[in-house]
Structure 1
Amino acid sequence: MAYDAEDTRRRIFEAAAAEFAEHGLAGARVDRIATAADANKQAIYLYYGNKEKLFAAVLRAKLEEIRVSVRLDPDAVAESAGQIFDWYQQHPELIRLLLWESLEGGGGLDEIERERRVGFREKVDHLLDGGVARHLPADARVHATQDLLFTIMGLIAWNFAVPRMCRVVLDEESDHAALARRRRTVVEAVRTLAAAPPP
């Protein structure tokens, strides 16, 4: 059977995403990634350069995945927050990757940060164009919308960053019950935050 470079690259990527989500950048091992991917270590270095670049590629792809999967609708911000909540529940690896990135830093992520800034500016512009924070003076609208976006992200992400704490604080018997309750609360909180006060 002929060597399939794309299939090898895909297997490496999937194995790396799982390895980094579980162990972070420092704790991840290239040999474990190679074994899980049924590939050799040389293929990893050939396709991705080094472990840091592989981590950056995984993180970039996961952020792109959510960007194309879920969009904040300026006319239905609360409902959009519910959809984002659902996406994170189905893809818990992104929160773990972001937490590892925050804990471990990593000097090779400057390019990703620039890309993210551009991406989030686009999200803010989309919300502004849709009328979010229209009750504010023009010079205050951008900051208010950025703050709203980051607050929404925090309201959602914290549930998946500390699922045990979520269950314990809410005094629920299961993660499922706690997350269902939190989803309703997050959607209503975002609805309140996004509602413009009367003129």
Structure 2
Amino acid sequence: MAWDTERTKRLLLDAATDEFTEHGLAGGRVDRIATAAGVNKERIYQYFGKKDDLFAAVLASRLRDSMDAVTMEGRGPAAAGDYAGRLFDHHLVDGVIPRLVFWEGLERAELAAADEARAEYHHTKVERFRAMLPGVDHEAAAELFLTVVSLVNAWPVLSHLDRLIVASPDEGAARIAARRRVLVRTVEVLANDVCGPAASAD
């Protein structure tokens, strides 16, 4: 029977996603990944290279999926705010990307920053974001997009700061909804400032 390479790769990526989300790169163990996937760990090295490369492959895969799952639609500041809100929702349901990105920042920031494929991915995201904002250049769109990503990614991994700083009596869905409103409004205000006269004319 022929070996199903693509299925094996998917099993390994899924197992590695769980492992790295929970333990990060340094704490993640190749033997646990192989066991969870039901695959000989030599396959990991064969298909992905060293553990660091597997981590990068996991994050790249999840980022591509999120680009398809949370599309950029519409035009103007309200569209930017709507995108931020939907990305916030996505990361609440599936907190994998925020956790992986924070682990990456702690453990492999320089490698990630030098990754040409990741740079191209983010360039594409910024250009799609810029297309929603009339009259905005790439640099201004990139600054605003970085703000969106930072705000959205922070909530799933820094929620303890909410309890310390805001100390809201609301809990659960009510508190999440309140935070979402603040985030969306913040992005709308910033987008309106960046778009300037062009936004008013649209």
TM-score under structure 1 normalisation? 0.83
| Distance across 2 between alignment mates of 1:120 and 1:50 | 24
- Aligned-residue Cα RMSD (Å) equals 2.4
Deviation per residue, 1:95-137 (Å, 9 max, x gap): 11111111112675466x32232233233333444443x2x7x
Q: Would the aligned equivalents of 2:98 and 2:153 in 1 still touch at CA under 8 Å?
A: yes
| Distance across 1 between alignment mates of 2:41 and 2:126 | 41
Q: Indicate the residue corresponding to 1:116 in structure 2.
A: 118
Q: Indicate the residue corresponding to 1:126 in structure 2.
A: 128
- Structure 2 unmatched ranges of 5 or more: none
Q: Indicate the residue corresponding to 1:65 in structure 2.
A: 65
| Distance across 1 between alignment mates of 2:109 and 2:141 | 29
User: Relative to structure 1, is the Cα distance of residues 164 and 177 closer, same or farther in structure 2, using a 3 angstrom cutoff?
Assistant: farther
User: Relative to structure 1, is the Cα distance of residues 36 and 177 closer, same or farther in structure 2, using a 3 angstrom cutoff?
Assistant: farther
Q: What residue identity is the alignment partner of 1:152? A: V
What SS class does the counterpart of residue 175 from structure 2 fall into? helix
| Distance across 1 between alignment mates of 2:2 and 2:122 | 42
| Distance across 2 between alignment mates of 1:147 and 1:43 | 40
Matched, 1:190 2:192: no
Matched, 1:45 2:41: no
Q: Indicate the residue corresponding to 2:140 in structure 1.
A: 144
| Distance across 2 between alignment mates of 1:147 and 1:74 | 19
Matched, 1:154 2:150: yes
Stretch moving more, 66-75 or 31-40: 66-75
| Distance across 2 between alignment mates of 1:36 and 1:22 | 14
User: Relative to structure 1, is the Cα distance of residues 121 and 110 closer, same or farther in structure 2, using a 3 angstrom cutoff?
Assistant: closer
| Distance across 1 between alignment mates of 2:196 and 2:111 | 43
What SS class does the counterpart of residue 152 from structure 1 fall into? helix
What SS class does the counterpart of residue 72 from structure 2 fall into? coil
Matched, 1:166 2:162: yes
Q: Would the aligned equivalents of 2:133 and 2:191 in 1 still touch at CA under 8 Å?
A: no
- Structure 1 unmatched ranges of 5 or more: none
User: Relative to structure 1, is the Cα distance of residues 124 and 52 closer, same or farther in structure 2, using a 3 angstrom cutoff?
Assistant: closer
Amino-acid identity (%): 36
Q: Would the aligned equivalents of 1:159 and 1:179 in 2 still touch at CA under 8 Å?
A: no
Q: What residue identity is the alignment partner of 2:61? A: A
User: Relative to structure 1, is the Cα distance of residues 37 and 176 closer, same or farther in structure 2, using a 3 angstrom cutoff?
Assistant: farther
